[in-house]
Amino acid sequence: MLRIEVVYCPASGPADPTSLELPAGSTLADALQASGVLARHGLASAPLPLLGIWARVAAPDTLLRDRDRVEVYRPLAADPKQARRQRVRRR
């Protein structure tokens, strides 16, 4: 059995972690489905969000290892480069 943690942060602030035990050979998509994170946050009907394992982007068919941390990334609210330019202009 693999011990996996699936984490989603719907906004800046506290995250929504879910701990799971999955059989060996499970994929990132399996962990996402078993966690129920997408359904809890209303993302089930939307296209699959960007996913990663330990802060590295990964495909849904990536095999998991014991103690992996699956992360569901939300889209950026603003382009970081443009936001920085706007902050500099305001100063």
- pLDDT tens digits, 11-70: 777 888 999 999 999 999 999 999 988 888 877 767 778 899 999 999 999 999 999 999
Predicted pLDDT of residue 59:
92
In one-letter notation, the amino acid at residue 40 is: R
The CATH architecture to which 2-90 belongs is Roll (3.10)
Q: Model's pTM, two decimal places? A: 0.77
> Which sequence spans correspond to the domains of the chain?
2-90
Q: How far is CA 8 from CA 1, 13, 16, 82, 90, in A?
A: 22, 11, 5, 25, 32
